[in-house]
Structures are given as C-alpha cells and as structure tokens.
Amino acid sequence: MNIKLRRTIRKYTQQPVSDELLNRLTEEAMRTQTMGNLQLYSVVVTRSAEKKELLSPAHFGQPMVKEAPVVLTICADFRRTTDWCLQRQANPGYDNFLSFINAATDALLFTQTFCCLAEEEGLGICFLGTTVYQPQAIIAALELPDLVFPVATLTVGWPAETPELSDRLPLEAVLHQETYSAFTPERIDACYAKREALPVNRHFVEINGKETLAQIFTDIRYTRKDNESMSEGLLAALVHQKFLRPDSLPGAVPNVVERRPDVLECDVVRFQNKKEKWVAFVGLLDGVPYEIFTGLQDDEEGIAIPKSVQKGFVIKHYDRDGQKRYDFQFVNKRGYKTTIEGLSERFNPKYWDYAKLISGVLRYQMPIDHVIKLITSLQLENDTINSWTTGVARVLKKYLPDSQQMPEEEEETN
Ligand SMILES: Cc1cc2nc3c(=O)[nH]c(=O)nc-3n(C[C@H](O)[C@H](O)[C@H](O)COP(=O)(O)O)c2cc1C
C-alpha cells in the first residue's frame, strides 16, 4: 500500500475478520522492537456484542466500537513480566511511572506495526484515543489486573467507505536540523496557512461561531477543562493499576502523623565516625524514618547492647509524675525482651536537642535526600558535633531510595 494514500476507516462491511488473519497479523506485529525484548504489552480482542456494549460508553459512544467486527484494546503490560520474575526468584520493581511509560511505548509501537500490516492487508482501522480518557471503564469491562493499562484501541474491519484524504502540515512543521528551531509568527503562518484555508475547516469555524481554527481545538474539541478532569481520571486509574503510588496524585498531601505513636519499630545502626563507635536508633513509621536518636556506643553512660541486635522498638513512657522518656526494647535470640530505659538521659543533651530537630523534619516527611543535605550543611559550634552530623547523615543514607543511593566514603561497622 502507498503510505501517501492511507486513511482512517470508520465504516466497515459485514464481512468477518477471521481469527486466522487476526492471529497472523498479531504474530507478525510482534516482530516490532520492545524494551529489553520484554514485549511489555497485551492485546484484548473484543468480538461479542455484549462486551462492545460495555466498551462503547468509555469511547463516548463512537459508533465504530459497536459496528466494527473486531475491537482491539492494546495494553501496557508489566503483569506478565512481573509474574515471570516472581516465579523465577527475581525481584521485580515495575510498579512505577517509568515502567508504565516503557510498557506504554512498547504497546504503542506494537499498535502502529499492527496498523501498518493490517492496512497492507486491505483492512480498515480506526485508532481510538478515547482509550486513555476514561480508562477505568475499560479496565473494568476487560477485567484488567494490576500493572495492565489500556493505551490504545483499534476498531478493525473491511472498509465500507473511502473517505477524503486528510491534509498534513508541511515538512518544515516537524523537521528541525541539529537543534530545535523556534517557531516565529511567520513560520507558524507558513505551517498552518494551507490547513486554515481548506473550505471544510473554514466552514467548521463559521458554523461554530469561532474566529480561528485553533479555537475549534481549544474551545470545543480538546478543552482545558476536559483535559484537566480526564487527567485526574487517568492518574487515578494509574494508581488503581499500581503504576503510581497514591501520594503521587496532584493535591495529595503526605500522610503526616503528628502525634508520635507510643511504640515505634526501630533500626539499630552502628557506625564509625572518626574512630569513635556510634549507635543510632532510627524510629520507623511504615518503614520510613520518623525519628532518630544517636549517641556514642562506648560512652560509660552510654548504650551497650549486644552486637547482634539490629532491630527493636522505641517506646514512649510516662513516669508517675508525668515525665516523658524514651526506652529502647529488643528481643534477644531466646525470645526474651530487654528494655534499656531512658534513652534520652543516656546521650549528651546537645545531641539530643539536635536529634529532636532532625526528628521534627523527618516527621513532616521532608524527602531523605533533602534531610541529608540539610544536616551536612549545618555548621555547628565544635568539631565533635560537626562530626556527629556526618554520622547522622551516614545513617540516613541507608533510607534513600535505591535510585538515590550514594557511594559510601567509609565502611560501616554494622
Ligand atoms: C492518538 C490518536 C487518537 C485518535 N482518536 C480518535 C478517536 O477517538 N476517534 C476517531 O474517530 N479517530 C481518532 N483518531 C484518528 C484521527 O482522527 C486521524 O488519524 C486523523 O484525523 C488523520 O486522519 P487519517 O488517519 O485519515 O489520515 C485518533 C488518532 C490518533 C493517533
């Protein structure tokens, strides 16, 4: 087929599209390039009137959905790859936005290859961008599991129309040499003049009472209001399918727990700083640092805990007179609890005060890399406290996401 003559087909004959043909075209399109050859897509075939009925509203009732013999929904799919990893002792990390983009790229490349092959075969195709407008309805209709997300729909059938060829912008509208060259007003005029002069477009502008063709797009076809509200639905659906975390939604506020729970799990992190042995108790809420207490390990008044202890609890305790203190509790190898009372009294009060400040910052969920930057930028009054801040920063590095891990300067003694 001459690509210069290809066009979207929205009306189809009654002639069926056989499974045999569909399978062959799909298999051929699977030769398309994909990330790591992982083939991060899947295709759901809809032939039944019942399912088409369910899909139709998601596509704003566009008639092709019910009229085409076949509707294909192409999905970004990290489910299969994730299941494969889990079954093969491999630890998948694909429940994130980057992985969605990668899978969506694979899915769209497959889609386009399929379109070319199908059109070559004489089939008529219409690409439905409405797939990402109300994805939740499609997810429900097709029972898509987590990590599977619809990105494209094709209505497929034998053409029952030969519509006019649509126009294209000139080459200069798309092609830039070496660097991106800005669009001056004259260049914009040159790019759009032919399109704006087409009788069909002039007529469209006139009957809609608009001044320009661009206004047809901004005010009628793709409005800010629709784009913003459908973006919200899209993001919510990405959260639902586990490609995004709920706190990445716009307007989401970090889930700050202001009142410290009476008992917090904690990590015990030992580290060496300028030849001194230090220990940090990092209180964790949902696995995220919520507070930190640190001090010298071999201080006579300090903390002595068995080397094997790496986890425990920091417990808020009120004396009879209402005085608050923090205790550390761990469970030994035989399952017995040991409590070290009064963490606060065992460490130098100055460190304690600075630790309180840092804990405040952690509690309000400043990202860990920013906390580390803040701590390392502190210029405190003496060398010992300055080296203490280095120690604290070193401890917190352990909690950076993998993607932000920094190289170690000194070996930990843990
Ligand atoms: C991302 C995307 C979304 C589209 N969505 C729709 C759609 O929802 N309904 C429709 O009738 N055509 C849709 N189309 C088809 C375009 O309208 C069509 O490709 C364009 O007008 C150019 O016409 P042609 O393909 O005949 O050259 C879509 C195409 C793309 C690439």
DSSP for 366-378, please give it.
--HHHHHHHHHH-
pLDDT, one tens digit per residue, over 270-299 is 987 777 888 899 999 988 899 998 887 865
Kindly report the average pLDDT of the chain as a whole number. Answer: 91
Look at residues 157, 178, 203 and tell me which one is the last residue of a structural domain: 157
Residue 406: per-residue pLDDT: 67
pLDDT, one tens digit per residue, over 16-70 is 999 999 999 999 999 999 999 999 999 999 999 999 999 999 999 999 999 999 9
Q: Phi and psi (nearest 5°) for 178? A: 65, -55
- Is the pLDDT higher at 382 or at 195? 195
Q: Could you tell me the maximum CA-CA distance found in the chain, to the nearest angstrom?
A: 91
Residue 80: per-residue pLDDT: 98
| Positive/negative CA dihedral, 94, 99, 104, 109 | negative
Strands across the sheet with 337-340, in order?
288-296, 276-285, 263-273, 311-318, 324-331, 337-340
Q: Quick check: CB of 126 below 6 Å from ligand 1?
A: yes
**Residue 384 counted as domain residue:** yes
**Residue 353 counted as domain residue:** yes
Is residue 400 within 8 Å of 366, Cβ to Cβ? no
Q: Quick check: CB of 112 below 6 Å from ligand 1?
A: no
Residue 185: per-residue pLDDT: 98
Is residue 329 within 8 Å of 337, Cβ to Cβ? yes
- What range defines the domain where residue 282 resides? 263-404
**Residue 216 counted as domain residue:** no
pLDDT, one tens digit per residue, over 163-194 is 999 999 999 999 999 999 999 999 999 999 99
Residue 352: per-residue pLDDT: 81
**Residue 133 counted as domain residue:** yes
The C-alpha angle 260, 264, 270, rounded to 5 degrees, equals 120
Probe target for ligand 1 pocket from 2, 72, 128, with the most ligand atoms within 8 Å of CB: 128
- Tell whether pTM > 0.75: no
CA 206 / ligand 1 centre spacing (Å): 23
Look at residues 105, 136, 157 and tell me which one is the last residue of a structural domain: 157
Q: Quick check: CB of 116 below 6 Å from ligand 1?
A: no
Residue with tokens 């294909």, as numbered in its chain: 72
- Is the pLDDT higher at 209 or at 307? 209
Is residue 51 within 8 Å of 138, Cβ to Cβ? no
Residue 172: per-residue pLDDT: 96
Residue of 231, 66, 45, 41 lying closest to 151 (CA atoms): 41
Are 11 and 147 members of one domain?
yes
Hey, is 48 helix, strand or coil?
A: coil
Are 270 and 129 members of one domain?
no
Tokens representing 120 are: 């070559």
Residue 118: per-residue pLDDT: 98
Probe target for ligand 1 pocket from 60, 72, 126, 155, with the most ligand atoms within 8 Å of CB: 126
Tokens representing 72 are: 């294909």
**Residue 249 counted as domain residue:** no
Residue 272: per-residue pLDDT: 77
Q: Does pLDDT of 408 surpass 70? A: no
Domain count within the chain: 2
CA 103 / ligand 1 centre spacing (Å): 22
Look at residues 100, 131, 157 and tell me which one is the last residue of a structural domain: 157
**Residue 234 counted as domain residue:** no
> What sections of 14-57 are H helices per DSSP?
19-29, 49-55
* DSSP at 286: T
pLDDT, one tens digit per residue, over 334-351 is 889 998 888 877 777 778
**Residue 201 counted as domain residue:** no
Residue type, 338: T
CA 90 / ligand 1 centre spacing (Å): 40
Strands across the sheet with 124-128, in order?
41-46, 70-77, 148-157, 124-128
pLDDT, one tens digit per residue, over 74-114 is 999 999 999 999 999 999 999 999 999 999 999 999 999 99
15-24, 130-139, 280-289, 382-391: least confidently modelled range: 382-391
The CATH code of the domain that includes 23 is 3.40.109.10
Are 7 and 153 members of one domain?
yes
Probe target for ligand 1 pocket from 56, 59, 127, with the most ligand atoms within 8 Å of CB: 127
**Residue 130 counted as domain residue:** yes
